[in-house]
């Protein structure tokens, strides 16, 4: 298991893969730690979780540089990710007790209520693109609820995974409550079936989601899946085009385009298509691509060379099918897995840029005949994670967001983002279940009915 710097191709570190016996022992240790942890009160849990937040902020630069080296995140974005990870720890430290407070229910009993109790050890299968945030948004609510955790992180960010394990240990959590499993994907199914594991959550591809859901279903264990997205961003004819394009391009280039909720498909009425194309090309061309350790870099490398090559194949295939490449579209010479900001227009059904997730700095512009046609195109996808609409008519925008867009997170006049205060997740091929907010912490608890005659 190797971590390779995607900006240079240099080996960062290598890690021996754990044996099946080691994995089983760690799972059992996590279960025993959970049995101790579940007896603690919320005040104790909150103290520990706030200490994780403090340590994250204290080590912000070091953790950010780890992300830069292992997966190429631009340094300013990496620091912001560490801060956001601290925020979610503070959020659940402040709110977990309220979210999981008993609920009294009137019934035929003299007294009846619902109480929320931990399930046990939860396995988290996490991706490389937000190597701290993805893990902390799982770990903070899961541990505050009294559960334990096993982390199977992406192999290329094993250093981040070990840093996170150490964070919880230094913050005073039980020694084995959150442990990292240095294993490949082939061993995940066996971990799901381990008797110490009670549930599983995955953020990743649709293929990985199907595999995990199948294994969890066979084991009769709860699962939450946050999968890919091909988010539609509708720019309606009455929108402020400068503001809309600015938000769309900012979203498209977050994490060098490697975000499940990025603005992947810009759906534009033909009446304003030339104006939008001009603005998108200018904004994308003005972004600075370079070494992610540099403070002024906005677009770094793709996380691995093979991912860059897959993205380029999607671009080339779309152009061959009739899309117009207005910017970029060529692999730059030199070391590193870099791919330039790219703009495709004239994207229609049958092209990769129309139906597939483009996980990189490629904006696809899809022409629509009118608003109804734009909504049809927006929902003509297997995915349903995020969506946005830009319009001067806020009431109309809210109605579209609430009732017309098939997605779990719908924004009006801004780009989609996750926030600890709001539930996050998708529908259709983007998975099921929710993370964050009260819905997120209640995913991995036993909602237990208590009846007293």
What is the rounded CA–CA span in Å between residue 6 and residue 9?
A: 5
- Which alpha helices (DSSP H) does 321-423 contain, by range? 352-355, 371-379, 394-399
Check if the beta carbon of residue 148 is closer than 8 Å to that of residue 37: yes
For residue 327, what are the contacts with CB-CB under 8 A and spacing of at least 6?
281, 284, 285, 340, 341, 342, 343
Strand, coil or helix: 229? coil
Give, in order, the Cα–Cα distances in Å from 429 to each of 206, 208, 242, 388. Answer: 7, 12, 32, 18
Catalytic hit among 226, 371, 406, 435: 226
**DSSP string covering 341-361, please?**
-EEEES--TTSHHHHS---SS
CA 244-246-247 angle, to 5 degrees, is: 65
Q: Catalytic: 248? A: no
CA dihedral 331, 337, 341, 342 (to 10 degrees): 40
* Helix/strand/coil percentages in the chain, nearest 5: 45, 20, 35
Query: Closest by alpha carbon to 123, among 154, 95, 156, 152?
Result: 152
**DSSP string covering 20-77, please?**
HHHHHHHHHHHHHHHHHHTTS-HHHHHHHHHHHHHHHHHTHHHHHHHHHHHH---HHH
- Which alpha helices (DSSP H) does 381-422 contain, by range? 394-399
H or E segment and range at residue 91: helix 75-99
Q: Catalytic: 260? A: yes
Catalytic hit among 89, 160, 248, 260: 260
CA dihedral 50, 75, 248, 332 (to 10 degrees): -150
Query: Closest by alpha carbon to 67, among 293, 276, 341?
Result: 293
Orientation of helix 75-99 relative to helix 133-144, angle to 10°: 20
What is the rounded CA–CA span in Å between residue 313 and residue 346?
A: 18
Check if the beta carbon of residue 228 is closer than 8 Å to that of residue 385: yes
Q: Which residues are catalytic?
A: 226, 260
């Amino acid at each position: 298991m190797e971590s390779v710097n995607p900006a240079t191709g240099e080996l960062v570190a290598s890690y021996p893969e754990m044996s099946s016996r080691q994995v089983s022992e760690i799972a059992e240790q996590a279960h025993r730690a959970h049995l101790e942890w579940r007896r603690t009160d919320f005040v104790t849990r909150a103290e520990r979780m706030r200490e994780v937040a403090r340590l994250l902020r204290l080590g912000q630069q070091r953790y950010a540089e780890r992300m830069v080296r292992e997966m190429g995140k631009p340094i300013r974005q990496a620091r912001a990710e560490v801060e956001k990870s601290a925020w979610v720890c503070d959020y659940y430290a402040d709110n977990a007790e309220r979210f999981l407070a008993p609920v009294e229910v009137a019934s035929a009993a003299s007294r009846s209520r619902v109480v929320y109790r931990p399930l046990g050890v939860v396995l988290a299968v996490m991706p490389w693109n937000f190597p701290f945030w993805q893990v902390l948004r799982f770990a903070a609510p899961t541990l505050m609820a009294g559960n334990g955790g096993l982390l199977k992180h992406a192999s290329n960010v094993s250093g981040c995974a070990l840093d996170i394990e150490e964070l919880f240990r230094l913050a005073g959590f039980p020694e084995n409550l959150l442990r990292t499993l240095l294993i490949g994907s082939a061993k995940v199914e066996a971990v799901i079936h381990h008797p110490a594991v009670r549930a599983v959550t995955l953020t990743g591809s649709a293929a990985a989601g199907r595999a995990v859901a199948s294994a969890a279903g066979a084991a009769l264990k709860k699962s939450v899946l946050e999968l890919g997205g091909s988010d539609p961003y509708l720019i309606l004819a009455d929108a402020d085009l400068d503001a809309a394009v600015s938000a769309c391009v900012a979203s498209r280039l977050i994490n060098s385009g490697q975000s499940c909720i990025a603005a992947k498909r810009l759906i534009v009425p033909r009446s304003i298509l030339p104006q939008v194309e001009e603005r998108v090309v200018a904004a994308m061309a003005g972004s600075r691509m370079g070494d992610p350790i540099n403070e002024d870099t906005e677009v770094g490398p793709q996380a691995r060379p093979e991912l860059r090559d897959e993205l380029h194949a999607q671009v080339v295939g779309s152009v061959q099918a009739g899309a117009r490449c207005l910017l970029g579209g060529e692999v730059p010479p030199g070391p590193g897995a870099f791919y330039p900001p790219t703009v495709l227009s004239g994207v229609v059904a049958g092209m990769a840029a129309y139906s597939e997730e483009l996980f990189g700095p490629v904006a696809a512009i899809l022409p629509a005949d009118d608003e109804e046609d734009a909504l049809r195109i927006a929902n003509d996808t297997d995915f349903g994670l995020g969506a946005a609409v830009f319009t001067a008519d806020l009431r109309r925008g809210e109605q579209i967001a609430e009732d017309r867009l098939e997605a779990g997170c719908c924004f009006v006049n801004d780009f989609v983002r996750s926030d600890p205060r709001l539930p996050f997740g998708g529908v259709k091929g983007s998975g099921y279940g929710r993370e964050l907010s009260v819905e997120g912490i209640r995913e991995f608890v036993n909602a237990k009915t208590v009846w007293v005659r």
